[in-house]
């Protein structure tokens, strides 16, 4: 595939720079950004404040990142999972989830496939096929805004296919574009990155000095469970991951979410809850429990409701904030990668 940068790969400042290089005034970059991000057009030719000759040149040198919707599935709670085809024919998924007070959350993919090999995840079966470009991450937001016109105020979570911190260069660029006050204007506090625990990536995010939300999918606080359930992430001792997450939380003054996909008989017992409480009490953390979304090819099942409630109760009794992902969300949304499972079946 042609991986040359498109206009969606560039920040507003870089668009201005590009205009200068093309012999145009720098402010044309802001006109371009207005058309791309404020009006959200998917057609360069619709940005009529730009001279037609310039539009033609840009089409030849850069063009826009194209995402074509090739499937969709709506859950009873109103969430909609969209299957998008990229320019090279690869497919990714993004989910639009309606929240309270007319807000939306968009769940975005960061890679095609993933190399982290978590046992309970459908995306893991694909391996890492390729990285998404920054433009492909940005284009997911633009496409979802177009498909859900009432969703201009959406929060973003990088929790779809892929491990975002395994694609940190493109992720950083996407974050700059998405949060650009002259561009897409999405505040850092409205963007959350979910990771299986890549310490270098957490540290790099911290060095951006912006209060991005961070969620770390630890799944269990017991190292044996982690080795079984998330073998690649478990190569780093949990203490190191948790220390990096705590440092990030203190630096950004944000509570970091520790996520656990709960699997019956694997990591849902009292001892697992105790271990989790110990770890979560060591820093600015809250807990999110996600009952497993069963997938083909993995025999695990979610714990029954009572067991999840008991687990959550124990955690709350230790004075930790603990949320449980509800069953409606289970239909289409997901833990990191829990999302991909149905795209490989016929839509
Ligand atoms: S759960 Fe997330 S990190 Fe693990 S394999 Fe799936 S996409 Fe990758």
Give per-residue pLDDT as tens, 175-219: 999 999 988 999 999 999 999 999 999 999 999 999 999 999 999
| The most confident of 96-105, 145-154, 305-314, by mean pLDDT | 305-314
Q: Are residues 50 and 88 in the same domain?
A: no
pLDDT of 172 strictly over 90:
yes
Structural domain includes residue 1: no
pLDDT of 320 strictly over 80:
yes
Q: Are residues 243 and 191 in the same domain?
A: yes
Q: Are residues 35 and 146 in the same domain?
A: no
Residue 93 among the catalytic residues? yes
**Cβ 336 under 6 angstroms from ligand 1:** yes
Atom of ligand 1 nearest to the CA of 336: 2
Could you read off the pLDDT of 27-76 as tens digits, one per residue?
Answer: 999 999 999 998 888 899 999 999 999 999 999 999 999 999 999 988 88
* Separation CA 134–CA 158 (nearest Å): 12
| Domain with 78 in it | 68-344
Q: Are residues 31 and 78 in the same domain?
A: no
pLDDT of 332 strictly over 70:
no
Q: Give the domain CATH number at 57.
A: 1.10.150.530
Active-site annotation holder among 24, 93, 163, 266: 93
Could you read off the pLDDT of 217-245 as tens digits, one per residue?
Answer: 999 999 999 999 999 999 999 999 999 99
| pLDDT tier for residue 331 given thresholds of 50, 70 and 90 | very low
Q: What is the pLDDT of residue 333?
A: 44
Q: What is the pLDDT of residue 194?
A: 95
Atom of ligand 1 nearest to the CA of 162: 7
86 half-sphere exposure, CB direction, 13 A CA radius = 25
Q: Are residues 42 and 189 in the same domain?
A: no
pTM of the model: 0.93
Q: Are residues 304 and 245 in the same domain?
A: yes
Radius of gyration of the chain (CA): 21
| pLDDT tier for residue 334 given thresholds of 50, 70 and 90 | very low
Q: What is the pLDDT of residue 296?
A: 81
| pLDDT tier for residue 4 given thresholds of 50, 70 and 90 | confident
Q: Are residues 240 and 171 in the same domain?
A: yes
Residue in the block written with tokens 């714990």: 303
How many structural domains comprise the chain? Answer: 2
| pLDDT tier for residue 326 given thresholds of 50, 70 and 90 | low
Structural domain includes residue 2: no
Nearest CA to ligand 1 atom 4: 118
* Separation CA 285–CA 260 (nearest Å): 13
Residue in the block written with tokens 């008991």: 310
Q: Are residues 156 and 32 in the same domain?
A: no
Q: Are residues 169 and 249 in the same domain?
A: yes
Q: Are residues 53 and 80 in the same domain?
A: no
Residue 107 among the catalytic residues? no
Q: Are residues 250 and 313 in the same domain?
A: yes
Q: What is the pLDDT of residue 347?
A: 31
**Cβ 126 under 6 angstroms from ligand 1:** no
**Contacts of 94-97 spanning 24+ positions with Cβ under 8 A:** 94/140, 94/143, 94/144, 94/160, 95/160, 95/332, 95/333, 95/334, 95/339, 96/144, 96/147, 96/148, 96/151, 96/154, 97/329, 97/332, 97/333
| Average per-residue pLDDT for the chain | 91
* Degrees, nearest 5: CA angle 173-178-183: 110
The candidate with the shortest Cα–Cα distance to 255, out of 200, 204, 212, is 212
């Amino acid at each position: 595939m042609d991986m040359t940068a498109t206009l969606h790969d560039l920040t507003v400042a870089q668009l201005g720079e590009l205009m200068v290089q093309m012999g145009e005034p720098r402010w044309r970059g802001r006109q371009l950004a207005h058309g791309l991000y404020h009006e959200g057009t998917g057609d360069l030719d619709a940005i009529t404040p730009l001279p037609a000759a310039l539009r033609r040149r840009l089409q030849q040198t850069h063009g826009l990142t194209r995402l074509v919707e090739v499937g969709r599935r709506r859950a009873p709670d109103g969430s909609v999972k969209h299957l998008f085809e990229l320019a090279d024919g690869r497919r990714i998924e993004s989910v639009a989830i309606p929240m309270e007070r007319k807000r939306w959350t968009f769940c975005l993919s960061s890679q095609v496939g993933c190399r982290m090999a978590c046992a309970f995840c459908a995306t893991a079966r694909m391996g890492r096929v390729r990285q998404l470009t920054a433009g492909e991450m940005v284009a997911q937001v633009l496409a979802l805004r177009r498909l859900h016109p009432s969703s201009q105020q959406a929060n973003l979570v990088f929790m779809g296919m892929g491990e975002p911190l395994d694609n940190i260069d493109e992720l950083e660029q996407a974050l700059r574009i998405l949060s650009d006050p002259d561009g897409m204007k999405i505040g850092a506090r409205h963007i959350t990155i979910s990771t299986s625990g890549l310490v270098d990536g957490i540290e790099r995010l911290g060095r951006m000095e912006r209060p991005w939300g961070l969620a770390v999918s630890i799944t269990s606080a017991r190292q044996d469970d982690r080795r079984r359930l998330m073998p690649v992430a478990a190569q780093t001792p949990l203490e190191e991951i948790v220390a990096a997450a705590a440092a990030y939380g203190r630096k950004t003054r944000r509570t970091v979410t520790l996520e656990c996909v709960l699997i019956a008989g694997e990591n849902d017992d009292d001892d697992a809850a105790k271990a989790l409480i110990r770890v979560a009490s060591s820093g600015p953390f809250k807990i999110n429990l996600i009952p497993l979304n069963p997938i083909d090819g993995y025999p695990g099942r979610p714990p029954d409701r009572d067991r999840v409630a008991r687990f959550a109760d124990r955690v709350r009794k230790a004075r930790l904030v603990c949320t449980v992902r509800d069953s409606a969300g289970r239909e289409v949304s997901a833990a990191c990668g829990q999302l991909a499972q149905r795209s490989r079946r016929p839509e």
